Structure 1
Amino acid sequence: MSASQIARELERAQKAKTEAEKKTGEYRTLESQKRMAAEKALESAGKTTSDSTRRMRISEHGRRLKEAQDAGKKATQWQKKASDAAKKVSDLTTRLTKAQSDEAAKAEKKRAAEHEKAMAELKREQAALKARVVETGNSVVALEQRLPAPIAEKLRILVLTSDPKGTLPGERGLRLGREQKRISQAVKSATHRDWVEFDFRTAATPEDLLDGLTEFSPHVLHFSGHSNEEIILFEEDQDGSNPGRAISPTTLSRALAAVDNPPSLVVLNSCKSAGQLDTLTKWGIPFVVGMLDSIGDTDAIVFSARFYATIANGQSLASAVATGQVALEMAGLPGSELPVLAHAGDVDPSNLFLVKSPEGEIGNQS
């Protein structure tokens, strides 16, 4: 029986004891009153001279005495009940004390077990956190190896444009030549224009991608064309209309990882390409820029021109993305929230300067 159950039974026993003691007192009082009445009747019988009155008083004496005896018996019965109840109260009080002690001991044992379990869980979490820190540290080391110290060479940007006739549903032809022209003009006006080199490959096929990576060894890969969350669309190597060839972000990542010096930055200036950024960064591409949703021709052109102009002026990658977004907003275009920047590991795009000082030092990171 639990302590709470014993406590309720003890409460009932205490009430029964109190009630029995009350009844005992009432019947003892009644017994005393009846005996006094019997004595008065007997005394009155001794004083009267009337035989009839004497007999009546003697009869009353007998009745009152009998009532006193009955009240005495009732008092004795209730006194026994009070005694039994008192014994039960004492027994239940002892049991309640023990039950409360036992339950307190069990609660303390449970609390100690829960504390031990919580400490074990905390140790496991700390071990897992330590493992993640080590893993992150290893990733950062690996990423730092991917981002060598600046060297005196031009920033190489491979630009692939693709606009097959069979574009993705809901998309139309693109003004890719216009984008190429605007990018070139923007960089030509930049402070460090002599330290930026482009390789433009139009109507780009998957083979152009591989050739560009191995022949040009770009620091930056820029793709303009059609895409969605799952593919980018290259062209087929054939004349006339073609449906294009879909390349998944995993395949693109494998192509980039296959070369000895993969790009440090990939820019997917195409619709809904932000859905591919996680895959590219998981494959170790340090920095990736993509679009959250469909982006119009004019928006894409304005963003690209300002993005590369900012880089060629010696600003950081984070600044280039932010400046490109502001340029869209200032032009009154709706796509200012579309360009997003993702990065792998614990690297800071605000510390990535693709073009360095006028003295000529450029590279992949400050």
Structure 2
Amino acid sequence: MKLRLDDLYRMTSFIYHDGNLGRSREATLLHFVEVCGMLTLLDRKKKRDRVDVPGALCKALGWYFPLLAKMGVESVERLLFTKYPAVCPYCRKSPHAEQQCKLVKGTEGVMSHALVRELTEANWESRPTGLNDWQRMFANIYPRSLNATGGFSIIALLEELGELAEAIRVFDRYPHYFYGEAADVFSYLMGLANEYAIQCAERGETFNYELEFLSRYPGLCIACGGRVCICPTVPPATVGRMAKEMPISVPSILDAAKFDAAGRETADKVLESIGRIPALAKYLPYDRGDMNTALTQLAFRLANALEIDHKDTADRLLALAIELGREKRPSGTVAHKITADILDVLKEAWLQADPAVQQSIVIEQPELGKLAHILETRVLIVTGNPRGKNEALRLDKEVSAIRLRVRLGAARDRIHIETLTAATVDSLRLALLSHNYDIIHFAGHADAAGLELVGDDGVHNLTFDAFGKMLAGQETLKCVVLNACSAMQGLSTAFAPLVIAMVDDIDDEEAIVFAKGFYDAVGAGQSPLKGFESGVTALESEGLDPHLVAKMTR
């Protein structure tokens, strides 16, 4: 008796037809995913009392077939051979060309669907017959070896199951996705069968997939003995087959309203924390919904408030507001990357706005008030004096002067200063990995070779190249101030949009005077570039050399 793959498909679908009628296609997929989880036995070597690899391979097909029937597939052979006409559909070779397939990656631009369809029709009459023949066809296309498996097929099957789940979710609107993904899932089931056959051969054993399948699906359900399965929805024999955890009891949700209120409170806290952890703002939906509306209104209101005193900023805000409105997208669509640096423009405008204007906006737009921290400026002051008392710097005085100048400024409530004292390479790297900053200010010793940080044996020199690499992940960084001797002499390129550094030796007084002038401007809501100009003016007004400091832009 020679059974075709379609014969096995229709037989299995018939046995479980009644049970499948009462299940949704999503529920049928869940059963299929559950039994695919058993296939991890092939690589994990994990013992399960009621599961073995041949049984798992057969159960996988035992649920794969009813899933296809649930999705209305008339012929599994037509579905499979349309995508795999005895060759790899991407390189159209058997065995497939690994390097060529990696370049193709299944994209429409380089994968010729027309040529694959031609091969399907040309090779149709020579397509495989029974299950073992299909297994051999996939072994020819994608050869497996004992030393080269390493869990690849299990990982790939997991990926394909995710793609199959997506295809089922969107099936009603985009049905064509399902057929290709279903064929891919079958190809990896065959790959796993071929890997198991190699393991069996290594032990001097044989694996006959079709025989194993028929022994478990001999024209009826072996669990209940019925020609058409009448097993209960949850057969006792299947409970604990995969899930083997200790008995755990947890309380149930008794007050749904209270549960939701707690979730809403947490959501508000997360929104309010975004400014303090700027990386959280990365995926805010600027292009849709309430966020887009609020930001558009904010841009218009700030533009109106700044029209007289800050016309350039007001003009940029108007352009931003128009762009935000024009690029508004409906829910569920792919996000649009708005080209303008939204946070930069809004932050600059927010700092320039009168506090009364800010307060009225926060009161009238409560949701925006929760996000006000996004518009705040974060400053990290890094200090280090590894040389010890003999060459001590008045770093504490510089930090105190910076805090005071910001506190005196109109924008003081929107500027947050953090300090990293006695900085080491490790502590600086961790600080930069943990948070994003707008301004990073280094106070201490330096020379053309780099910055001096605290090391295990005293001085550790951090080269400017290494420092620049540390700063690479700082998405909001606008300015780096190197308030240290001769730092500019070691810089060849800017590792921030604006780098300010000393060109020669400076003493404590000169360093502090420049810092005061710089943060006078920042505290007033001005840009770092204005801060540079203010710092130079401060040096000059105190009778100090204004050429001690220079800037470099990127």
Given the two structures, how large is their TM-score scaled by the length of structure 2?
A: 0.32
Given the two structures, how large is their TM-score scaled by the length of structure 1?
A: 0.48
- Report which structure shows greater RCO (CA 8 Å, sep ≥6): 1
| Higher Rg | 1
